[in-house]
Structure 1
Amino acid sequence: MGLKHKQVARLKFTMDIQSLAQVEQIIAQLYGNVDSNSAQEYLQALQKQQYAWELAPQLLASESVNSQFFGAHTFQVKISRDWHTLPPDRKEWVRNELLRWIVRLSNGPMVVITKLCLALTAFALQAVPEFWTNFISDFFNYLHTESMTISAQNQYQPLFIELPLLEFLTIVPEEVLRADLIGERKAKVNQELIDSIPRVMSMLRNLLSAHHGYSERDIILKQKCLRCLQSWIQYGVPFEMLHLLIDHVIALFSVESMNDVATEVLVEFISQTRITYYQDTVCEKILQCMTGDWAKSQITRAINDGDELAARNLCRLMTTFGDNFTNYVAINFLRQDIVVYLEMMLMFAGFPGYFGQDQEISFFCGRHQFFSYCHSDP
């Protein structure tokens, strides 16, 4: 049985071991779905208190993943909602705590790392420009230094900094696009992102081009790279810095474990309006991807097996291509790769077995797109 509502309400928090254990018990109750409403009410009230700043790192030191997650979440909540309650002389302490715990838990549960990176991003957006301007470059340098130090101290337990680094670099542009920044803060934040683009793109290019095997960690690492790249495409990385990276994404499109994420990146890439200025180059690359032997085999297998999921990503990419480059298709209607592309679209249109409204492939790809191309004026 969990703690009853009245028992939870009567708990008095003091900074000692017993009370910390009580808080962890309530956290376990919250995530264990046992009387979770009263637990949530208590914990939300707890986060509003000034001592929650001190509580967060104590929870991060717990062996419980739930407590670690709530500790990271508490940091994020305090920074986002109660920034004005943080004394100026404690800002450096909060930043250092977040950095320290990201490093310390870098080989741990990704859900905690993600929360810590969200908290650090929230801190950066609050701290610019008065306290912390170069937050991306500083994070790069901090992780590199800590990695070298820890690896030198313990060669048998290396620190894998790539995942927390990629997580932070994925979150930052997303949060910047969502944030309601104004004035000098907005200018400084965006300048930091713009200044960081070459370094971020170089890192992603190195990681995506590395010939690792396909162990679980290698797969996760490359998937994280692709998600990070998608985030920066959304932010607005110039085409000149993207086109070489897109070659690596196309190469991963045919890898089963990468296909979902690679599709997201390619769809995001060709959906950007600024890409139309480089239409010929982009279309050449994407057409090679969509009309190659692997893509053809995917369609054939999907139709023969009656498995629309097998070619869903390819269908989505081809549809998005048609939406954004209809004029290119019409102008080059008789070119061999365009002919193959349209034939493949028609194959999707003939996908058997379902009504159009229940079937993603034939409805979206075939009937709508193919016939719109056929009736376009070249």
Structure 2
Amino acid sequence: MSEEHGTVKKAGWGCLGCGLGLMFSMMLVCGLIVLGLVWIGSMIPGESAHSSSSPDDPDGLEEEYVTGKHNEKSKIAVVNVRGVITSDEDSFDNNIAHSRQICLRIRRAASDPDVKALIVNLNTPGGEVVASDEIYTEIKRFRKTGKPAVAMMNTMAASGGYYVAAACSPIIANKLTLTGSIGVIMSTINYRGLFEKIGLLAEVYTSGKMKDMLNGARQRTPEEVGIVRELVNNTYLEFTRIVAESRRIPVEKIRSSEIGDGRIFDGGQAKKLGLVDSLGYFRDAVEAAAKNAKLKPDSYTVIRYKESFSFAKLFSLLSARSGLKGVNVQLNGTPSAPVFTPQPGRLYYLPAQY
């Protein structure tokens, strides 16, 4: 009887131990899941924080400290333009510069009376013509408030990147920066020869003779080539007009010289050609912004904006990513494929290798 009672007692303690162990394991798993979600949330495109404030802002942005004196009222805002410039909101890669998100940050800086100047921090090969123009226009609006905007070119600020920089004054580049590439590109693929070899025939029905003028299954007509060239040229004329206005270089000089033939320059070459104002580093851009805003040394803090974290945004991001169908395969010893692929029939301010 006592032996049976002891067995029951031991079994009870064993069940209790198992229950506590299971509860502890579940708590540990839940904790790891939460930590994992927070870590994934930190990977949402935006700038990584050093230290930040987190007010409940209607634009979903919060400030984070970059450099300068902590807690000063006067601020210089930094807006990063990193990666290929696009208006495509379906891409979640950190190497893509979303024009809407960038414009949102510029508007935030413009509306904040404590922000006295803007630094546009560029590391981009360029991108879509409309997306580049959206950012350019937003910077021009910012400057209409009377606040200065300084462009800082890092590793690359070419084509659409230069288009954006042209809205700023001054433009500062590193001596090794790759910039220039002032031009427009549109590409498509003609696979007519391949179709003939494998015996395929494309049947296309249109409402007008120009509706399928970029159809890759047939040869272009001279009239179609002329239409495409005119589109490219009109966009190029706008690009060169903006450069001429920004840099005070005669537009005909740009179009008839190496400045406007699409080639890339390093920072030193760009300075000699008048495309940048000075050579320097981020610190020099901060000093230039402070000087133009008439801020005394150590009287300001430099901040940038990042998206405020929320689980709603996180789950939205995860849901969107789960629908992505692209697969990136890289073999050892081979260069990775470019993250961004120009779409046929679209106009871009990009170097040809993109």
TM-score by length of 2: 0.28
Q: Quick check: which has more Rg, 1 or 2? A: 2
Flag the structure with more relative contact order, 1 or 2, with Cα contacts below 8 A and sequence separation at least 6: 2
TM-score computed with the length of structure 1 as normaliser: 0.26
Normalized per residue, the structure richer in helix is 1
